Amino acid sequence: MKNKAQWLMLACVFSLSLLGSEARSQADYPNGPVRIISDSSAGSAVDIGLRIIAEGMSRHWRQQVLIVNMPGAAGGVSARNASQATPDGYTLFAPATSLFLAVPGKAPNLPLMVPRDFVAIGYTVDQPLAIGVWPKLGVKTLAELVALAKSKPGEISYAVTGVGRLTHLMGELIQLRTGITLQMVPYTGGSVQAFTDVIAGRIPIVMEGYTGMSGAFQSGTIMPLAVASPKRLPEAPDLPTVAETLPGVVASGWQAVVAPVGTPTPVIEKASQALRVALEMKDVQEKLASRGSYARVLTPAETEAFIRDQQQQWKPALERIEQQQQAK
């Protein structure tokens, strides 16, 4: 009996020591390099923006924050590796918009869901989309474009950079909201060919990131109609937002930072704070803005709510695309 009591006492002491050790490790977090897995390719616009943010987090923590690129399988490679990482805060994940807004069944385990698959840490940037047209189309506003499309159902085409991507989703959502019918033309090789065809008048409408089209807008080779940002951009105050014509329609490329399920709350809070501090650094904001990315600070709870809201906003468009693919 005495031996049993001694063993129980030792077990309690051991358990308390483990709890104490775990509490100390969380309090010291991070006491080593932190990895952020990305589904983007090295050198891409998304990758460059993420590295700018990671450098700001490194300065705040005085610990190295490393970006680990794991593209492939429509985001499945990065998601699998991130979900299998030890939930201790030393491996985080920065999935792009497309991993949360994927057509069901297009890729395994997508779209990602929070908090089912990952725990939200924070938000990074907005990269708003814009709508541009061939200057000789004869419209100067989004409302005029909608009116023209209603008079020619199914006759007007628009260019996007890939089936199921955000540019495609925005085109489908606009059709759902307005009742117009457009013909989608996907360009899998990127936006350059799409811009070339719009400038030449072969395709009258293009939906793409504002930054990518800003040069064509300034030169007059593509006419800007609207930007799908929450509010007008500081560098283009005369360009209306899509929401001014279609209330509630906002379309921006965005990125969230998440952690594997099971990551302790104190670690989540520390990582969120570091992300916030980095995004509020003036030089970080300036570097991001020069690349068409606008820093946006959200708490873990706000980030989770934002992701859910985006998934609900784009659900009708995703379902419409899924139905179109099944009908083929």
Residue 1 located in a structural domain: no
Q: Average of pLDDT values for 113-140?
A: 94
Number of domains in the chain: 2
> Do 136 and 112 fall within a single domain?
no
Helix (H, G, I), strand (E, B) or coil at 28: coil
pLDDT tens digits along 222-269: 999 999 998 899 889 999 999 999 998 989 889 999 999 999 999 999
Residue 7 located in a structural domain: no
Residues ≥6 apart with Cβ < 8 Å to 62: none
> Do 201 and 98 fall within a single domain?
no
Residue 270 located in a structural domain: yes
Residue 23 located in a structural domain: no
CA neighbor of 223 nearest in space, from 243, 245, 201 = 201
pLDDT band for position 13 (50/70/90)?
very low
> Do 257 and 231 fall within a single domain?
no
> Do 44 and 98 fall within a single domain?
yes
> Do 239 and 258 fall within a single domain?
no
DSSP string of 187-252, one letter each residue: -TT-HHHHHHHHHHTSS-EEEEEHHHHHHHHHHTSSEEEEE-SSS--TT-TTSPBGGGTSTT---E
> Longest C-alpha distance within the chain, in Å?
94
> Do 90 and 47 fall within a single domain?
yes
Question: What is the extent of the structural domain holding 75?
Answer: 29-126+253-324
Least confident interval from 5-19, 114-128, 138-152, 296-310: 5-19
Q: Which pLDDT belongs to residue 106?
A: 67
CATH number at residue 148: 3.40.190.10
Residue 288 located in a structural domain: yes
Encoded amino acid at 286, one letter: E
Which residue among 228, 251, 274 closes a domain?
251
Which residue among 204, 228, 251 closes a domain?
251
Residue 247 located in a structural domain: yes
Least confident interval from 47-56, 145-154, 159-168, 281-290: 159-168
Other beta carbons within 10 Å of 298: 21
Which residue among 251, 279, 308 closes a domain?
251
> Do 238 and 270 fall within a single domain?
no
Q: Which pLDDT belongs to residue 262?
A: 96
In this predicted structure, the answer to whether residue 199 has a pLDDT above a threshold of 90 is yes
> Do 185 and 155 fall within a single domain?
yes
Would strands 118-133 and 223-227 be described as parallel, antiparallel, or unpaired? antiparallel
Instruction: Tell me how far CA of residue 311 lies from CA of 101, 304, 307, in angstroms.
Output: 6, 11, 6
> Do 147 and 59 fall within a single domain?
no
Residue 310 located in a structural domain: yes
